[in-house]
Structure formats: structure tokens, C-alpha cells
Structure 1
């Protein structure tokens, strides 16, 4: 028999680990070497805005459309398309690897135009993606794997913040070319052309098709023609990012000018499309990646490799958002309604630009604010510096990114006067 002392020891509650033992246990974690990542700028703006108790605070950091009451907006055409889908009692089976065919066909027509020669000749490989970000990621991965020249892509300075991260994670080297002139708050066209001409032959170049993010500064049609010539001269490969088709000018054909002109000039670009902005399908993540090839046979090879890329990433894309977009693009009545709604959204943003400029001028500002109305799309570069943007937030409860970019969609007829007064208070 066990002694009483032994039994007491065996049945006693286990002793707690000493502080040193606990520290050793924690040190043994697999994740102790994981560094803290930098804070997200937009999330920081959102958090600061939420904490601010000012009754007339303004958030100009959100990259999503808002109506004139400052509320999220669901397009009526989207509501109708959803109702039609529900009424059709559709199943929830997997889409193919490259997505919903009716959607991808219509997306290609929207971008390239119904009279596009590569489209008619069956030379465009296209896949549905997880919005525009997914399109860029698939494109970056395809180029990293198959582009025959240097695996470096040139992006404008500045560019959408996620471009660099997406392409780096795709395995590409990221370089930059001149785009923004801070002195004129406009396009550095000469610098851009010079940089394109100085690139190594056969370089990959990212181009914003319209409504450049973050500056809102687009080349003119004549400037696009000169850019095309410089690209052709260098044998460069154009990668278009078109996240705002229709949302920039209100005209989907006008906003596709650069892409379609490059096609006519013999370029064989690839394209990332997003339907987040122009259909308000932010949370549905609807996009497409396409690439122009030289023949149907080449298209079939490219298509097969895109499928090989997609399969281990997410197998196949979600169907609901693509079905909504497909309804809108393929139903003549819904399409007409949607085009009208897109123009209304674009026109509201154009009006807010004009009102902001008008109010600043009425206040007697000595600055030239013409760039506010010459820029286009959801975002505008104000020309304000980091310290001025910080003062706007601290003294006026107006929140935006510290580089001076504002989301014009956050301006309303109810807050534009106060916004102008706030800017005038800070910069005069």
C-alpha cells in the first residue's frame, strides 16, 4: 500500500508554473518573431473619425461612393438585378475556374468595345477575379511566370497604395516613373514620357486607364497618343488598371479611350477591371483579368495557364456578384438604367468639385484651386501638405489621408461650405 504522504502528493492540485517557467513557455511560441505591421492609414482615419464628437465632422478618407446625405448607396439597377436573380430560383453550384461566362463575356465587351477586333477574333483570354485587386494579383502572377523580359513592373509616382504590395507579392520587382507634379498639382507629362523612353526595352508598365488614384489627374487624349507612341518605341508591355470605367466622366466609352486606342495601335495589353465603384458592388468583389493575345491558339494556351494559377489560390470565384453584374450588362433595359445611374454618380462628384472650388474662391482664397475641377474621378489631390492635413483633422474635424488626397464622394451639398471654410482657415 502507498503511504499516506505519497497519496497526499499524488492527489494534491498541480503546482502553478513559476514566473520563470511561464516566461519560458511564452518564449517557446512559434510566433514570437512576428513583427508588428505598420498601421493602416484608412483604418486610422476611420477610428479617429469615430472618436471625434464634433457634430459636423467630415470623413474624406473613405474610398467608396456616398450619396448627397453622406450615406452608402446601392444602385436601383443592382436592387432590380438581385430581385430577378432571386425570382429565377438559381442554384448555388460552383462556377468554373474562370467564373460566370455571361459575366466575363459582357465585361470584355464593356472594356474593349463591341467592335474590338481582338474580341471578334477570339484573341482575348479573360477570367473572373476577386474584384480589381484579385485581377491585379492574377495578372502579376501570370507575368512573373511567363513574361519573357525583366520581371520588373513600373508604376506611376504616386499610385494606388496597394499596387506595390500586390506586385511584390506576385514576385515582381516594382519600379516607378514620374507622374505627379507637386508644383503644378497636375500631370508631369514630360517627366512621364522621359521615364518611359529611358526604360529598358520591353519593360512592363502599369497605366491607370481613367480617374487616376490617388491624384485624379488623367492624361488628355493627345497625351495618351504620345504615351502609346513612347510605349511602342520601347517595345513596352502595357498593363491597364481600370477600376473606374464610367465613374470618371459618366461615359463608359470615353473612360475606355486609352485602352481602346492602344489596341488600335497594335499593343497587346492586359487589363484589370473592377465593378466595385461603377456598380457599387464593393462587398461582392466582382472583377476580371484579361489579356490580349495574337491568335485564338495563343489565347487557349494563356487561358489554360490562368486556370492553373487560379485553381490553387481560390479554386473558383463567387457567383452572386457576378450574376448581378451580368444581369446589368446583358439586360438592355437594366443596362440603360445602370448607365444613367453611373452618370448621375459621376455628375454628383463633378458638381461637388465645382462647389468646393466656388466656395474657396468666395472666401477670398489666394490659392489657385483650378486643379480641383480639372482632376477627375472619386479622388482629388488638394495640394495640402502633411502638417496642413493634420491641422484640418485636429482643428476642424476634417479627416483625410496625410498626403492631401480627399475622397470627393465624401463631400455633400450639406458640408461643402464648412469644408471650404476649414481649408481656408488652414491655408488661406
Structure 2
């Protein structure tokens, strides 16, 4: 009898963030701190249901709605609202933007990678170094024949965005039709974003070399507290290459994809709500490409989930609820900004070795602390403070009760490493 190849399959390790959460949950130490999981927590380290979301839930409950299947493309009112959120009301009406509902941001990224592998057919995909770890896995799974190349996003010495390194890599290595994965705001894991001028220069090289951009928008509104400000890069790229007025590029890229998660900014983690937006040049019909996206969704999930889509639509369809949601988003963003200031202040107050100004120069949920893997392991083993091995800290896990403890723990492991 032929031997099954399944017998030789090795046991793969659990994804680091999930393994870290499991280890944290199993830890009985009373003062343990979880700085690994990328979810919002309130000042008491508890999950926070946005008040605007709770109000929307109550309204939906009173309507005695059914639970029928959605169309393959998703909940049409949700798609419209998601498009308005990411592109603004004026651009969202353009017919060269087509939207399909996805299983959160991960599903949007996976669908984007599948689409690009089958129909764009690039030689290379450029992913920032470092990036959200799932970017590498998604592109390996969806496009195994596409070469992954890393552009040097982070300057470890200056602890800032490596603009020169990024531009040089794209200039030297990117070929026409290659994919570039970009984070429009709150870069994960570094928390460092390009300036507007730098974004314009990135757009220039994208247009000149005719590259295909995939934006991954996971933190719109959550980053700065202003959803419009956090969408600036996406809207600028759209207006530059694909707007109905004459594009600046005479020979623009073939298209662009925008992956949109609504997990963080609506607190709908478990509802797995997201969208993928396909943008084509106004002179080209989007129908053909859009139909292929629809077929990919049909073969994978048939149709997406309904409840989260109804919540987003309910909030964005009511001016009072939308205003309340904007206040909720700002509440989350301001709390994260506040703990950044508090942690930096505490580290400096106790004379922790090093310059900690990068903590407040970063934006969004994460801080790329600069701690080494061995220091992170010491934090976990000695102090029960959990963060990813690369030193990425989820700022949401900090609060007034544990910032002092975490700062002292960081100072201790830095001292032990000397």
C-alpha cells in the first residue's frame, strides 16, 4: 500500500500572536500584562464595546430581522458605507471603484493576493520589513510562484521610517506590474508612517514604474482619531492615478486594491467584518475584473457574514449614531496616545537606559520598542509581561495601574542584558 504523505507532515507552530495569548491565559501570576494581542482594551484592561455599536445592536434587535444569506458581494448598504469611509463621500460614488464584503481585513488581504496571483500575475510582491506577519503567510499561500521581496521600512538606529531605503529598493528591484503592499496609516508593527511629501514620492515611483499597489487599511480612525486624516494616502493615490479628472500619470498603473478592516475602529473583532475595494482606470470597465473577484468569493465562502455589516450600516446611516461613533473612535485613539506619553515619562523618570522618544513619535496601536528577542523573553519569564519576540508592544494593554510595573520591568531586562 502506498504510504500517505500525511504521515510525514511536521507539526507547525501556532502563529506567534495566538501562541502568546495562550501562554498569557495559562499564566496564573496576578500582575501579568498582555502587550501582545492587537485588540483594544479599556483603562481596566477589559474589552470595550463601543457605545455607538451597542446602540446599533439595540436598534437591530427591535427590528425582528431575519438571518438569510447575503449576496456573494455582501450587504450592499454596508459596501456603500465602507466605501464612503475609506474614500470619502465624493470619491466613493465613482464607478471605477467596486467593493466586495470580506471576512475581515485578513479575508480582504487573502482575496487581494489570490486576485493578483491569478490575474495581475506579477513577478514579485514587495512587503515591508518588518510587516504584519500574516502578510508573508497570505502571499505564500495565495501566490506561491510570486517572489516575496522585502523593502527596508524600518531604520533600527534612528528608530524611524527608512524612506531612503524603501525608495532605493523599489527603484532598483521593482518591475512593471509588481505588487507593493502598503500600510496607509499606523504601520504594523513599527507605528511609523511616511509624511505626505514622502507618500507623494512613493506615488511617483509607483506611477513611473507602473506598479500595482495593495493598501492594507486596518486602523483608519483608530490611529489619529480622525478617519479622514488616516485615509489620506489612499485618497491621494486614487486621485493621482484613477480619478475622473486627468490623472497625473500618462501611463498609469493597471489598478489598485484597498483592503479594509473594520475590526479596530468599530470594535467588531469577532464579527469578522471587512471589505476589498477594486480600483481600475476610468477608461477601463471594471465589470470584468469585478466578476472574477465575485467568483473567487463564491469558491471560498459563498457569501460573507451579515450581523457586523448591519451594525456598520446602521451607524453610518444615522447622523446621531455616526457622530457618536466618531467620538468613540477618538476616545480610543486619545487613550492610546495618552499611554504612550505616560510610558515614555515613566521610563525617563526611573532613568531607563536609552532614548525613548520614539514611543511618542509612533502612532496607532503598536510600539516597536527596540527591545531584543532575549530582552522580550526575560520580560515574559521574569516579569510576566508578554509581547512579540520582535519587541512589538500593543499599547492598548497599558493603563494607569500597570505602566509603572512595565517600565520597571523594561529597565530591569535592559540592565540584565548589559
- 1:296, distance to aligned residue in structure 2 (A): 8.3
Q: Give the distance between the partners of 1:206 and 1:281, measured in 2 at CA.
A: 24
- 1:347, distance to aligned residue in structure 2 (A): 0.4
Q: Is the 8 A contact 1:132 1:272 kept in 2?
A: yes
Equivalent residue of 2:188, what SS?
coil
Q: Is the 8 A contact 2:183 2:215 kept in 1?
A: yes
1:365-384 superposed matches below 5 A: 365-384=352-371
| 1:365–1:100 distance in 2 versus 1, CA, 3 Å | same
Larger Rg: 1
1:178 aligns with 2:174: no
Among candidates 272, 292, 295, match of residue 308 of structure 1: 295
Q: Give the distance between the partners of 2:127 and 2:149, measured in 1 at CA.
A: 6
**Which residue does the alignment assign to 1:197?**
171
Q: Is the 8 A contact 2:353 2:411 kept in 1?
A: no
- 1:197, distance to aligned residue in structure 2 (A): 1.2
- 1:30, distance to aligned residue in structure 2 (A): 7.0
Q: Give the distance between the partners of 1:266 and 1:40, measured in 2 at CA.
A: 37
**Which residue does the alignment assign to 1:52?**
27
Q: Give the distance between the partners of 1:36 and 1:272, measured in 2 at CA.
A: 31
Unaligned runs of 5+ in 1: 1-23
- 1:341, distance to aligned residue in structure 2 (A): 0.3
Q: Give the distance between the partners of 1:354 and 1:316, measured in 2 at CA.
A: 43
Aligned residues between the structures: 400
1:112 aligns with 2:87: yes
Unaligned runs of 5+ in 2: 243-254
**Which residue does the alignment assign to 1:159?**
131
1:237 aligns with 2:212: yes
- 1:28, distance to aligned residue in structure 2 (A): 6.8
1:86-105 superposed matches below 5 A: 86-105=61-80
- 1:186, distance to aligned residue in structure 2 (A): 1.2
Q: What is the TM-score normalised by the length of structure 1? A: 0.90
- 1:297, distance to aligned residue in structure 2 (A): 6.4
Q: Give the distance between the partners of 1:102 and 1:141, measured in 2 at CA.
A: 25
Q: Give the distance between the partners of 2:284 and 2:149, measured in 1 at CA.
A: 33
Q: Give the distance between the partners of 2:282 and 2:297, measured in 1 at CA.
A: 22
RMSD, aligned CA: 1.7
Among candidates 272, 275, 278, match of residue 291 of structure 1: 278
Equivalent residue of 1:317, what SS?
coil
Equivalent residue of 1:194, what SS?
helix
Q: Give the distance between the partners of 2:4 and 2:129, measured in 1 at CA.
A: 41
**Which residue does the alignment assign to 1:418?**
405
Q: Give the distance between the partners of 1:399 and 1:255, measured in 2 at CA.
A: 29
1:270-328 Cα offsets, whole Å, 9 max, x none, are: 10000111101000000000111224861222221111111111111111111111111
**Which residue does the alignment assign to 1:402?**
389
**Which residue does the alignment assign to 2:249?**
none
1:330 aligns with 2:305: no
Q: Out of 174-183 and 274-283, give the one that drifted further.
A: 174-183
Q: Give the distance between the partners of 2:220 and 2:50, measured in 1 at CA.
A: 16
| 1:286–1:361 distance in 2 versus 1, CA, 3 Å | same
Among candidates 235, 240, 261, match of residue 260 of structure 1: 235
- 1:125, distance to aligned residue in structure 2 (A): 1.2
1:80 aligns with 2:55: yes
Q: Is the 8 A contact 1:250 1:347 kept in 2?
A: yes
1:205-264 Cα offsets, whole Å, 9 max, x none, are: 000011111111111112111111121121111110001100000000000010011112
Equivalent residue of 1:277, what SS?
helix
1:41-91 Cα offsets, whole Å, 9 max, x none, are: 223322332343322111111111100000111111111111111111111
Equivalent residue of 2:241, what SS?
coil
Among candidates 23, 26, 34, match of residue 9 of structure 2: 34
Q: Is the 8 A contact 1:74 1:280 kept in 2?
A: yes
| 1:150–1:46 distance in 2 versus 1, CA, 3 Å | closer
Q: Give the distance between the partners of 1:307 and 1:51, measured in 2 at CA.
A: 42
| 1:296–1:106 distance in 2 versus 1, CA, 3 Å | farther
Q: What is the TM-score normalised by the length of structure 2? A: 0.92
